[in-house]
Amino acid sequence: MPPFGPMSPDLPQHGHDGLVLARNCYAGVLGYEPIKAPTAITSALPATWRGGGAFQGTGGNTALLAAAAAGLYTLTSSAATLVHAVATTTQWFFAQFGDLVIGTHGGAPVKFTLTAGTGAALGGSPPSASMVAVARDFVGLAGNSAATTTFYWSAINNAEGWTVGSNQADIQVIPDDGPITGIAGGDFFTVFQGTAISVFEYVGSPIVFSYRKVVRGIGAVCQGTIGQHGRQTFFYSRRGFYKFVDGEVVPIGRNRVDRTFRTTYSMSEIEANIRCTVDPERSLVIWSMPDRLWIYNFDNERWSEVYVPGIVGISNGATASVTLETIAVTYPSIEDVPGSLDDPVWRGGEPMLLIAKTDNILYSFGSSSNLEATFRLPKLEQYPGRETHVYNTRLVGDPVSATVAIDCQARMGDVAVNVTSTDLKANGDVPIRASGRYLQPTITLGAGTVWTSIQGFDMETTPGGRQ
């Protein structure tokens, strides 16, 4: 029984062992695993979501921040509270520095103080910026519309120290390869341009950060394409999806999804809408576009996609802190409370993924019900030059119900004849009768179907006459 191969819609529809489509699932250690249906967890923002995420302070409590047209909000299940007013029409990006969350949107940077739960303009007269990252003890900014090739960094261990030459705060103009398009942090700053990548490494005074251009010819399209996990920085270039690790760029979408992604969206659509986040628990990098998520597992190097109408963006999230009042409602008797009231579980902070939709509500994939999943194989020619007669198919996995459909063709250009069966037996067989020289199976696991993994699909066949 051949296992499902990697999703590779860029390849021809015939002659490979991958999948044409793996939808509403992700590639995991058990094969392809389900995506849960979205569940609303916040009240509605008053306008379109433009960025945000969950951030945890040194005290352990979390804050869920979201940006919209009027400014920066905190979000709970019952209210969206404006904490800093500023009119914007652009995407926001955030980075955490201690108990400060710093947000950029193209104008003056904004701070949210986690310990106080308040928002304000970032102090120290920082430059206007549309990008932010944190490396070591410094905050980095870029995307000043009046200085598009300039990278700024703060004073050491002071997110509100921006006087050049004071306490190691400084700037660096990059004279070639055009405007800065994205930045990432960590042990050093990685600065992207459209066709180049530079590394800024801390060396101390008087230089502070020494920079060198390590890649030419490849860069990031915009800040929204960049996601980071450990030493790996993932991004989308005009040449496709890549990861940057240890000074090298490695293609991750070539002959898989690059061509499909490029032909699905215009560059202006990508720059306006794309958002990237990382799910470290499942080793996933996720890029969101309207109605769709493009998912890459960086451990097994496999792609999949999620289709949910109304998606406008994705961000990291975390479970909320639980108050004593909430515990009292959930557990009327103290004897029913699992564990101690001092248990860290009540503080929240457990990671989750959040999606924003066109109704301006944030959702998690926290439902108990699975989304409808679809797996489409390429066109198979079991017996070259002859018809194939199918009399049974079999799923390798644990779904309790499924639909198997087979498109049958004598020639690749013919209109396909579709044969469908929904009769999944207890032994995993799906009996079906189909004939054709080229057969393209599609397996659908309906919404709400109970399953945890699926690894493959097989057809029991006999050869027919020559054509």
Pick the closest to residue 220 from 202, 206, 240 (CA basis).
240
Q: What is the CATH number of domain 39-319+348-364?
A: 2.130.10.10
Rg of the chain on CA atoms, in Å: 25
Q: From 405, 402, 396, select the one nearest 377 (Cα to Cα).
A: 405
**Where are the CATH 2.130.10.10 domain residues in the chain?**
39-319+348-364
Element (H, E) at 272: helix 267-273
For 21-35+371-466, give the CATH class.
Answer: mainly beta
pLDDT in tens, the chain (467 residues): 568 999 999 999 898 989 999 999 999 998 999 999 999 999 999 999 999 999 998 888 789 999 999 999 999 888 999 999 999 999 999 999 999 999 999 999 999 999 999 999 999 999 999 999 999 999 999 999 999 999 999 999 999 999 999 999 999 999 999 999 999 999 999 999 999 999 999 999 999 999 999 999 999 999 999 999 999 999 999 999 999 999 999 999 999 999 999 999 999 999 999 999 999 989 999 999 999 999 999 999 999 999 999 999 999 864 444 344 443 444 355 554 444 444 333 333 445 789 999 999 999 998 889 999 999 999 999 898 899 999 999 999 999 999 999 999 999 999 999 999 988 998 889 999 999 999 999 999 999 999 999 999 999 999 986 65
Looking at the chain, which residues constitute the CATH 2.60.120 domain(s)? 21-35+371-466
Q: What is the DSSP string of 339-406?
A: S-TT-GGGG---EEEEEEETTS-EEES--SSBPPEEEE--BB-SSTTEEEEEEEEEEEE--S--EEEE
